[in-house]
Every structure is written in C-alpha cells, then in structure tokens.
Amino acid sequence: MAHKKAGGTARNLSDSGPQYLGVKVTDGQKIKTGNVIVRQRGTVYRAGKNVGTAKDYSLFALIDGTVKFGNKRVQRFNGAKITKKIVSVLK
C-alpha cells in the first residue's frame, strides 16, 4: 500500500504588495495639476502653497508649476520649536 499522508494546507504564503512611498517629484521639477508629489504615512512633509493633502496624507499639486521644498519652524503645543519640511508649487 503505497499511500502518503495528506500534506495539509499551506498558511502564510500570501503577501501584500509594496507601498511605493516616498518623494515622487524633486525640487525644481515641473508638475501638473493633480500629480502626486509625496506619498507618505503621517505628515513627514507638510503642504505649502498650492499643495493639497489627500486622505492618506499624500501631497498633490493644485496648480501647474514648479515644485519647491523648504523648511518652516513651527511651535508645538508644549512650546517646543521644531523644523518641519514644507512642499509648495510655484507658478
């Protein structure tokens, strides 16, 4: 009787795809309305002039123009001052 015992079911073999996060357009590049500038989790980069924030914190252009990255000093609720990265689109 050449029987084999059943192998059972395979578990933990499914895998989700990569998230493709990060900066998609660099400083000084041209961009069109609606194009994604940064895909991120949380507010690593903040929206500046002519930049919108999506539900998943992605930043996108509101007008055609040139992307500009910069820094801005902001004050937290506890009084601490920190530097945050700002993304803007200029005409």
State pTM to two decimals: 0.79
| Strand-by-strand arrangement of the 36-39 sheet | 22-23, 36-39, 59-61, 51-53
H-helix or E-strand spanning residue 89: strand 81-90
Any idea where the domains of the chain sit in the sequence?
Answer: 22-90
| Domain 22-90, CATH among 3.40.190.10, 2.40.110.10, 3.40.50.920, 2.40.50.100 | 2.40.50.100
pLDDT in tens, the chain (91 residues): 667 777 777 787 788 889 999 999 999 999 999 999 999 999 999 999 999 999 999 999 999 999 999 999 999 999 999 999 999 999 9
